[in-house]
Amino acid sequence: MTDITPFGDRLESVFAAYGRLCVGVDPHVTLLDQWGLPDSADGVREFGLRTVDAAAGRVGIVKPQVAFFERHGAAGYAALERVLAEARDAGLIVIADVKRGDIGTSVEAYGQAWLTPGSTLEADAMTISAYQGLGSIAGVLEAAERVGKGAFVLAATSNPEAAAIQRAVLQQSSRAGSTVAQAVTNGVIAWNHGRADVANRPLGSVGVVLGATVDLRSSGIDLDTDPPKPGLPVLAPGFGHQGAELRDLQAIFGSLAGGVIVSESRSILGAGPDGLAEAITRRVDEVGVASV
């Protein structure tokens, strides 16, 4: 059997080659109009393919927001399949922003859809919700590991209405006394630490979503002790359009800064199809400086 390269190793290689920027593929209605594209499946396909073309060779990671394709039904999914295939063929790591979550065979089916090699929706990683507990997604994480895929578990998201739940303190759990966000983050760290050859892994293959506009310490996230081993991948929305500043990256993420993926969409996509490549190149340089 061919050796499988863990997702975390591939992510570390991308960091070294292209830096930490992740370009969102988010065909908002307003952006479609700005780009002169129709609000249709054809429009979102063209938007996605142009974004992939501009990203290839300039960054290493793209993150299609599935909702903007899904709103066009079956034709939208066909458009997404084309965009996913083109992105992976271009050598980009593709994070499908799907935020799926459930229990048992249902959540396993979500994992099969997005992480199975050869699936028409195949991505390299997916965003996933552990609202029913980390144990509910264990089957997906195990299956992902077998084929070198990854996952990013929602922990402290940047939408303000989530704070009350994410900062709620667990009463009955092995992590009783922790906030929900803290329990998810520590659970993912523990998962990565329990993998094979942990001492040789630069990054784990399972990460968390931590918003850059969130007060992470108030959410119970430990930013002050030594970085976890292997390093924790952190998908970090909130930079750019949402207001977080790159110069504050180290202050925001503390000891977790080494695994941060800077995820930006509208702040880059707003440059339009003609200015997109230049905007990506400029932001790659800015993220590189902030990550040093």
CATH of residue 138: 3.20.20.70
Say yes or no to pLDDT of 7 above 50.
Answer: yes
Say yes or no to pLDDT of 241 above 90.
Answer: no
Q: How does the average pLDDT of the chain come out, rounded?
A: 95
Helix, strand, coil share of the chain (percent; to 5): 50, 15, 35
Say yes or no to pLDDT of 198 above 90.
Answer: no
* Mean pLDDT calculated for residue range 186-198: 93
> Is 1 part of a structural domain of the chain?
no
Tokens encoding 40 = 């249709």
Residue 291 to residues 92, 117, 195, 243, 287, Cα–Cα distance (Å): 20, 32, 27, 18, 6
> Is 213 part of a structural domain of the chain?
yes
Can you give the pLDDT at residue 242?
76
Say yes or no to pLDDT of 196 above 90.
Answer: no
The sign of the torsion formed by the CA atoms of 280, 281, 283, 284 equals: positive
DSSP 23: E
> Is 182 part of a structural domain of the chain?
yes
* Mean pLDDT calculated for residue range 247-253: 95
How far apart (Å, rounded) are the C-alpha atoms in residues 38 and 41?
A: 8
Tokens encoding 177 = 């006394």
DSSP line for 221-271: ---SSPPPSSB--EEE--BGGG-B-GGGHHHHHGGGGGGEEEEESHHHHTT
> Is 291 part of a structural domain of the chain?
no
Whole-structure pTM value: 0.96
> Is 125 part of a structural domain of the chain?
yes
Can you give the pLDDT at residue 281?
97
Place of tokens 């065979």: 105
Can you give the pLDDT at residue 291?
79
Can you give the pLDDT at residue 289?
84
pLDDT tier for residue 257 given thresholds of 50, 70 and 90: very high
Place of tokens 């938007």: 47
Task: Provide φ and ψ at 12, rounded to 5°.
Answer: -60, -40
Tokens encoding 287 = 């993220």
The tens digit of pLDDT for each residue in 64-113 reads 999 999 999 999 999 999 999 999 999 999 999 999 999 999 999 999 99
Place of tokens 């029913």: 132
DSSP 193: H
Say yes or no to pLDDT of 292 above 80.
Answer: no
**Number of independent structural domains in the chain:** 1
> Is 103 part of a structural domain of the chain?
yes
The tens digit of pLDDT for each residue in 22-40 reads 999 999 999 999 999 999 9
Beta strands, E only, 73-121? 93-100
* Mean pLDDT calculated for residue range 144-168: 94
> Taking the CB of residue 266, how many other CB atoms lie within 10 A of it?
14
Can you give the pLDDT at residue 103?
92
> Is 106 part of a structural domain of the chain?
yes
* Mean pLDDT calculated for residue range 145-174: 93
Tokens encoding 21 = 């920027």
How far apart (Å, rounded) are the C-alpha atoms in residues 27 and 43?
A: 8
Can you give the pLDDT at residue 2?
62
How far apart (Å, rounded) are the C-alpha atoms in residues 98 and 118?
A: 18
Task: Provide φ and ψ at 54, rounded to 5°.
Answer: -70, -30
User: Mind telling me the catalytic residues?
Assistant: 99
Say yes or no to pLDDT of 143 above 90.
Answer: yes
Can you give the pLDDT at residue 1?
42
> Helices 104-115 and 138-146, interaxial angle, to 10°?
30
Domain around 133:
7-285
> Is 20 part of a structural domain of the chain?
yes
